[in-house]
Structure 1
């Protein structure tokens, strides 16, 4: 049985960024240029919002203490944005019902990843839910835009290679995105120490949540 730690790794940026890139590549291979651009805008916009909420808390302590909210979960947002779209496109040449099933499977996977963030104490419930809502909005907006997308021929080998690359990426060493965000937050805020949820005061960071 897959562990919660392994499951949560599928929401990491080393997995979801290549998956988002694969989605862009598949759309471009199908000459769906406008959708490819729209997908990039949605995904990058979601990432920017996640980073902004984290910088706001780490740099200035801006959050919702009553909800234990210190920023949107990046894992939850990326997983919920990427996997429904990924599986929808994999099933693009199938019947509409199968496309819907693919997106549903993607949402199921993302929910499991979101839950894992809470189980391993990487995020509070409010942060995971916020990530799920933001990622869900991104995937739903994109899927509505792609509803009239005609099936295009993409090599099955390209699809298999893309999916295998996504799976293999889960074994890569995580990149220190939390540290990078902390460095930026301290630079722009001018503070010497980051804010943390422990006491909601500036202390040395010890909560890895990105």
Structure 2
């Protein structure tokens, strides 16, 4: 279940969604989706770099950084489910979006249960992802259907390409290097709770 929020899955899904929208000539929707997803991932990365480098956070809430897994899952799955049933009635579309949001919440719950994040970190991630997916759905709701076969082909190519790229990118390493370089510190702050 936790892997549903991993960036090695959510980034390729996000790329596939953008390719699908572009293949359907939904230029505004693709731009909106790309910008919203990029802003969410940048916010997550910046919060992690800030904690690693400077120890920022809110100790009273046990908050260190926004959960990337909760953000990613809640950002991509509601819009995926929405696009899959887009041609059907509004009741099914709303149910699909709700199912995506619930899936994001389940990933968040599993992160807390597994001790990977605190409740405040996953709540921030879920809220960020939900804002992204709901805003993107609003932007993509009126695009024309396009050619499904071509859209599927484009989405599959984008998914495969992004999967290959993300597998070879050690994101955690680069975030740690960025945190050290930007903060001027000699060591990183720990993610783990002591005591």
Q: Which residue of 1 aligns with 2:115?
A: 121
Between the aligned partners of 2:193 and 2:137, the Cα distance in structure 1 is 41
Q: State whether structure 2 residue 83 is matched by structure 1 residue 86.
A: no
Structure 1 portions without partners, runs of 5+? 1-6, 201-210
Task: Please tell me whether the aligned partners of residues 51 and 189 of structure 2 are also in contact (alpha carbons under 8 angstroms).
Answer: yes
Per the alignment, do residues 199 and 112 of structure 1 end up closer, same or farther by CA in structure 2, a change over 3 Å counting?
Answer: closer
SS of 2:185's equivalent? coil
- What RMSD over aligned residues (CA atoms) do the two structures have, in Å? 2.4
* Aligned counterparts, 1:90-109, within 5 A: 90-109=84-103
Please identify which structure carries the higher helix content: 2
Q: Deviation at 1:158?
A: 2.2
Q: State whether structure 2 residue 20 is matched by structure 1 residue 22.
A: no
* Aligned counterparts, 1:48-197, within 5 A: 48-155=42-149, 158=152, 162=156, 176-197=170-191
TM-score scaled by length of structure 2: 0.86
Between the aligned partners of 1:153 and 1:94, the Cα distance in structure 2 is 17
SS of 1:123's equivalent? coil
Between the aligned partners of 2:118 and 2:30, the Cα distance in structure 1 is 33
Task: Please tell me whether the aligned partners of residues 50 and 73 of structure 1 are also in contact (alpha carbons under 8 angstroms).
Answer: yes
Between the aligned partners of 2:106 and 2:77, the Cα distance in structure 1 is 12
Between the aligned partners of 1:198 and 1:8, the Cα distance in structure 2 is 19
SS of 1:194's equivalent? coil
Q: Deviation at 1:198?
A: 4.8
TM-score scaled by length of structure 1: 0.80
Task: Please tell me whether the aligned partners of residues 19 and 82 of structure 1 are also in contact (alpha carbons under 8 angstroms).
Answer: yes
Task: Please tell me whether the aligned partners of residues 26 and 144 of structure 2 are also in contact (alpha carbons under 8 angstroms).
Answer: no
